């Protein structure tokens, strides 16, 4: 996915997307995910993966409600990251999706939208 040659980048992106969900996405949703992934250039992808950021201070300063949603079948971002982030944000609430991978917002949109709306309503009050 970091290769600027489309003949390499496109199949790599397809393979990556297949790894992001617990079950295959419907074709239209897969195409949508593919399109927004391809909108990110290989140079930007490389910069994102090679950056070194220590966000501990920023996480500790968060004072608004936080919801950390994570698919238990996510092999892109490991579940231990949820515990780490939650340990830095005192008011964080964790929400695990047992049958979802990295794209849990596409795999269980009803639940994701319901929980996000509840968070937005809490913040609005």
* CA separation for the pair 113, 73 (Å, rounded): 19
* Domain 53-125, CATH homologous superfamily name and number: Alpha/Beta hydrolase fold, catalytic domain (3.40.50.1820)
pLDDT for residue 125: 83
Q: What is the pLDDT of residues 56-92, one digit of tens each?
A: 999 999 999 999 999 999 999 998 999 999 999 999 9
pLDDT averaged over the chain? 95
Domain ranges across the chain: 1-52, 53-125
* CA separation for the pair 71, 103 (Å, rounded): 8
Say yes or no to pLDDT of 113 above 90: yes
Global confidence as pTM: 0.85
């Amino acid at each position: 996915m970091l290769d600027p040659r489309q003949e390499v980048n496109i199949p790599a992106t397809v393979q990556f997307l297949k790894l992001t969900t617990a079950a295959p996405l419907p074709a239209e949703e897969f195409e949508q995910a593919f399109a927004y992934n391809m909108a990110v250039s290989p140079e930007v992808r490389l910069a994102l993966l090679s950056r070194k950021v220590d966000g501990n201070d920023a996480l500790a300063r968060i004072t608004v409600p936080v919801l950390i949603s994570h698919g238990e079948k996510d092999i892109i971002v490991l579940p231990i990251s949820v515990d780490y982030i939650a340990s830095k944000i005192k008011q964080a609430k964790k929400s695990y999706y047992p049958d979802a991978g990295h794209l849990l917002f596409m795999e269980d949109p009803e639940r994701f939208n319901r929980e996000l709306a509840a968070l937005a309503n809490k913040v609005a009050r």
